[in-house]
Structure 1
Amino acid sequence: GKHEDGSMVLRAKIDMASPNINMRDPAIYRIRRATHHNTGDTWCIYPMYTYAHPIEDALEQITHSLCTLEFEDQRPFYDWLLERLTETSKLPDGRVVGGLLTAPPPRQYEFARLNLTYVITSKRKLAQLVYDHKVSGWDDPRMPTIVGLRRRGYTPAAIQTFAERIGVTKSDSWIDYSTLEGCLREDLELKAHRGMAVLNPVKLVLTNWDEVMGAGHLEPCSLPALPHPPEGTESPLRHFTIGKEVWIEREDFEEVPPKGYKRLFPGNKVRLKGGYVIECTGCTKDSDGNITEVLATVVPDTKSGTPGADSVKVKAAITWVGVADGVNAEVRMYDRLFLDAHPDAGGKDFIESLNPNSLKVVTAIVEPSLANAKPDDKFQFERHGYFVADRVDHRAEKPVFNLAVGLKDSWGK
């Protein structure tokens, strides 16, 4: 404690003529008065990272120390230090000295770091996002942290497939974010139960329902939860009802359809998936001209799975949720956190690349089977993508789902 901070260092005597600057008698201890989280103010000298790192590897019995390429120039010092600390010598009196660490020592191997487009992995920069409240926390589903990926709906199998697919190399390269998304789609395709959800709802009224089916009648319907169950097994069924009023996506109706449009417009027929064929007759609007209801008639004897269901041919089937048994849910539509593929490359201010539309929250209506979801349960909302019940906020009385990944890569398209 007699010397000021920075006034002296302890150096390892190696070779001042070495072509590797890291071997020119590097500093291994320096004076620094700083409160340590374990030892408080007991010490005022601390080891340099490049000195402590190999010793810690050896004490923790690491066999292979895997690091990124920036540590490659440090490997000669890593090896020199561990050779000094494992070697022994015999004194004239026969005593053996040295061997402070056991042999064989760890070996260091370097590989190129993972550079993923639209992502930053610097802990300092990620911390800035958290502390400046640009995200909700370390587990925000837009963050590339383990807790963030898990909350977003990423599975261990998807991440492992991604790691295997990109491989290990010493060449610096950028991996497109869509590669990671593709691995998640592959994992969930055969595992995630299906369900129907309406994210931008408008009410569809079947004007002849009471006449054809009976006033107040609710017709039970079902669909398989897994279109492709494992070989030798049967898919569980999802059960829901159809009545006079159902919710449909607002984009599934066009009063004046564009060319090639196959969904609802006056005079056109479509199938309500798992339900009946219907024929659109028009719509109602409010005083501002906004569509408030879509009107249609149900075609009798066309219920999916019943004899004669295919007697009426249609060119499209649309998803829907019954007004009688639909459940309100908060759905968080997450997108990429940055607009720039390389948000912090070349000294750029990554904050300027933040995507202002990386989170949109909508109140959706989901089929009753989705109301039974448990936190971390994953589903495919048909037509929309893969979603996960939020592991923090999801409750039976207030379902919350996070978009994990869309059904296909549509970024920038």
Structure 2
Amino acid sequence: MTEEKPSNFIRDFIDEELAAGKHSQIVTRFPPEPNGYLHIGHAFAIGVSYGIAKDYNGKFHLRFDDTNPEKEETEYVEAIKEDLLWLGADWGENLFFASDYFQQLFDWAILLIEEGKAYVDDLTPSQMREYRGSLTEPGQDSPYRTRTPEENLALFKDMAAGKFQEGEKVLRAKIDMAHPNMNMRDPVLYRILKADHHRTGDKWKIYPSYDFTHGQSDAIEGITHSLCSLEFEYHRPLYNWFIENLPVPHKPRQIEFARLNVEYIVTSKRKLLQLVNEKHVHGWDDPRMPTIAGLRRRGYTPDALKEFCERAGVAKRERVNEYALLEYCLRQDLEGKAIRRMAVLDPLKVVITNFPEETEFYEGPNHPADEDRGSRKVPLTREIYIERDDFMEDPPRKFFRLGPGREVRLRYACYITCTDVIKNDAGEIIELHATFDPESRGGSTPDGRKVKGTIHWVSATENVELEARHYEQLFTKTDPNEVEEGQTFLDNLNPNSETILKCYGEPELANAVVGEPIQFERKGYYVLDSDSSPTQLSFNRSVGLRDSWNKKQGK
């Protein structure tokens, strides 16, 4: 290994096999189906497989499980590749598709037929379910199970030639209809599907099942360890049966681990697709979505996700991780990376009545803990905006911000004192008047006078208009799938998951770059959205400066 890593049961298996001389090189893979965008659970799985390949100086493959042309698209292929590279999982020259092996799989299916280990079945899907039995009762043999290899071979070739309709026939493995593991009860190897494939076009009229494709693809590529989530544990006997009954060039080992589950998040591709298709969100990369594309657009970083996944750890049992931990990892990462800027999200105008007519500029560090990152000039003018909640007309004793007759420090600039409160006919505060101390320029006075409150601000005349998009969890329940009778997970959608604020920022925000993390001082971490333009700056809030969500939930 290149460096020490926390041990887990997968690494223990690998260490034992290496010590026994079973492998000369570790080879892992990530095998997504290109029928949707990757989500945070996939990021965890990628981290496990890629991390092991990297740490053991091995090889990592990206292989698309493209065996269902009705649901797969090139768009998803490209999105998945982009996500892996963003996460730092580089497959190099090892990019593969299950469709690369269609001919070999077809040939192996013929071999199973010739050896009497596969047969063509005419049962309908409902009949197959009926014949399959249950967890407590054995299944029944199909009446077509006794066909001769010659009959099966002829029928299978006719299936491949497109002579039958979809659903009319399937090819099944002949294993054991009384097996206690239902996956071993004559599983389907091929079904008829007359749909164009995104890579092979209309060449094939039949397509292999996932179970028949997966292990053989691993074997062809020389995968040593097929790492997958726990739901595949009961598929492992079938995985091994194919490996043992076919002349594969390698014999990989399947190892299962618990998926990554997070509070308030659904990771079912079917449900994510439903959210997109029914327009409950703005798309796969909506910043509220748990997709990698959505997390990236919201301002999450690869390092934050990696840290979260490492803290979650590789385990044998399912568990649910706190959403607060995910946000904590992001805050910790952004604290050192994000440049600082000022923006006022709920503006209240302040007129500094004794301030000069001309603009003054003050130095603000780009990062308070890193002088090497330089500074920017922030314009101060006679009229400014402050946050509305930074003023109280009748403040309590421990309120250290602005109030009538109270003095505060404008960050980087000077001291101001509120002198007048201007209200409209409805009694609402619409403007404040204040004076500034000319000797406090730069944020201090010659006499060393101290003020307890420091607030951020933006010039009311020299600024950029922007919108700040604030997000909360997409669902209101810790487990979005927990529903009452007659409800669906959609009933747990959070109607307040997205809020858009019209606000003002310091001029330097006009130079923000998509993907560059920025801390709006005292407000949170933001990132310029990819749909921004010079005339419409839109920033997505990645995370607040503190864990406000758990506080809301009373945790």
- Among candidates 66, 76, 79, match of residue 227 of structure 2: 66
Pick 1 or 2: higher relative contact order, CA cutoff 8 A, min separation 6: 1
Match of 1:203 among 349, 365, 373: 349
Q: Which runs of 5+ in 1 are unaligned?
A: 87-100
**Distance in 2 of aligned mates of 1:192 and 1:44:** 53
Q: CA deviation at 1:76?
A: 1.0
Retained in 1: the 8 A contact 2:410–2:443?
no
Residue 368 of structure 2: which of 197, 216, 227 is its match?
Answer: 227
Which residue is equivalent to 2:51? none
Structure 1 residue 311, shift from structure 2 partner: 2.5
Residues 372 and 396 in structure 1, CA contact (< 8 A), matched pair in contact too: no
The alpha-carbon deviation at position 4 of structure 1 amounts to 5.6
- Hey, what does 2:29 align to over in structure 1? none
What is the letter of the counterpart of residue 244 of structure 1? R
Contact between 2:358 and 2:381, CA under 8 Å: does it hold in 1? Answer: yes
Change (3 A) 1:372 1:7: closer
The separation in 1 between residues aligned to 2:416 and 2:393, in whole angstroms, is: 16
Q: Check conservation: 2:194, 2:206, Cα contact below 8 A.
A: no
1:8-19 paired onto structure 2 within 5 Å: 8-19=169-180
Q: Does 1:55 align with 2:216?
A: yes
Q: Report the 3-state secondary structure (helix = DSSP H, G, I; strand = E; otherwise coil) of the residue aligned with 1:351.
A: helix
Q: Which residue of 2 aligns with 1:94?
A: none
Question: Which stretch shows the higher mean deviation, 289-298 or 9-18?
Answer: 9-18
Measured on the aligned residues, the alpha-carbon RMSD in Å equals 2.0
Q: Paired residue for 2:283?
A: 137
1:138 and 1:402 map into 2 onto residues whose CA distance is 16
Distance, in Å, in 1 between the alignment partners of 2:471 and 2:177 is 54
1:36 and 2:196 correspond: yes
Alignment partners' CA distance in 2, 1:5 and 1:374: 51
Shift of 1:10: 3.0
**Aligned partners of 1:199 and 1:365 also within 8 Å:** yes
User: How far apart, in 2, do the equivalents of 1:354 and 1:11 lie?
Assistant: 42
Q: Please give the residue correspondences for 1:270-285 in structure 2 after superposition, counting only pairs within 5 Å.
A: 270-285=408-423
**Structure 2 CA distance for partners of 1:267 and 1:183, relative to 1, 3 Å:** same
The CA distance in 2 between the partners of 1:33 and 1:80, in whole Å, is 25
The alpha-carbon deviation at position 157 of structure 1 amounts to 0.9
Preserved CA contact (<8 Å) 1:255 1:282: no
CA distance in 2, matches of 1:4, 1:395: 52
- Counterpart of 1:194, as a letter, is R
Structure 2 regions of 5+ residues with no counterpart?
A: 1-158
- Contact kept, 8 Å, 1:381 with 1:387, in 2: the verdict is yes
- What's the offset of the Cα at 1:222? 1.0
Separation in 2, partners of 1:306, 1:383: 20
8 Å contact kept, 2:393–2:403: yes
1:312 and 2:441 are equivalent in the alignment: no
- Normalised to the residue count of structure 2, the TM-score between the two structures is 0.66
1:114 has 2:253 as partner:
no
User: Of the candidates 186, 190, 210, which is equivalent to residue 336 of structure 2?
Assistant: 190
What TM-score do you get using the length of structure 1 for normalisation?
Answer: 0.88
Q: Where does residue 236 of structure 1 map in the other structure? A: 374
More deviation, 5-14/112-121: 5-14
Please give the residue correspondences for 1:348-363 in structure 2 after superposition, counting only pairs within 5 Å: 349-363=488-502
Aligned residues: 387
| Greater than 6 Å deviation, 4+ residue runs | none
Instruction: Please list the CA deviations of residues 151-185 of structure 1 after superposition, one character each: whole Å capped at 9, or x if unmatched.
Output: 10011111111111111101110001111111111
1:396 CA drift (Å): 3.1
Identity between Structure 1 and Structure 2 (%):
49
Matched, 1:379 2:518: yes
CA distance in 2, matches of 1:398, 1:22: 55
Please state whether the residue corresponding to 1:234 is helix, strand or coil: helix
Using the TM superposition, give the Cα deviation of residue 358 of structure 1 relative to its aligned residue in structure 2, in angstroms. 0.9
Q: 2:536 aligns with which of 389, 398, 402?
A: 398
Q: Deviations over 1:254-302 (max 9, x none)?
A: 1122342221111111111111111111211111212111111112201
